[in-house]
Amino acid sequence: MSKLSPDTKKYLSYAKKWVGNIPYSMAGHADCYHKLKAGKKPASGDCSAFVLGVLAHDGYKVHQASTPTMDAEPGLKRIKPDEATVGDVVIVNKGDGYNSNGHTAFLLQPWKKYGKHTKVLQESVYHDLKNVNVKEFGPSFADLAGGKTRFYHPTKP
């Protein structure tokens, strides 16, 4: 992680502190975003609230949004898959992208090198893990196979 920018190191450090500590619930979306933004522990949360709340906490211009609408966030710049690296955001939507038809996470490894084996930091329901966790992209996004995969680099104004 020595080549990461100070900003990327900061938000990834903040995100990692929540591993195992925020139970998954789509109903906790708003609470998760606002509490994380304020530096507080949410009662529960979902994937998009986790990613956006972490970024908002560190001054990125992002709002409370769902996976299908994250494309419009001013603090996320779309990048090519081979440019996606540690700290970037991956979003996969299938159909309308709402509820179980969409998922998002932070990349913990370069996509070009690891592809579907890239480790991601996510808020998800993954078998027995129903909280913030680290897993490979492939199994984490398996239910969305065939969906639209996009990558974003968080940017500050």
Q: pLDDT tens digit string along 87-122? A: 999 999 998 878 788 999 999 999 999 999 999 999
Global confidence as pTM: 0.94
| Strand, helix or coil for residue 89 | strand
As a whole number of Å, the CA-based R_g of the chain is 14
- The one-character DSSP state at 28 is G
Amino acid at 127: H
Length reported for the chain: 157
Please check the confidence at residue 128 and state whether its pLDDT lies above 70.
no
**Mean pLDDT over all residues of the chain?**
93
Please check the confidence at residue 12 and state whether its pLDDT lies above 80.
yes
Domains of the chain: 6-154 (3.90.1720.10)
Which residue from 6, 106, 7, 114 is spatially nearest to 47, judged by alpha carbons? 106
What pLDDT, on a 0 to 100 scale, did the predictor assign at position 96?
83
Please check the confidence at residue 149 and state whether its pLDDT lies above 90.
yes
- Give the confidence band of 1 by pLDDT, cuts at 50, 70, 90: very low
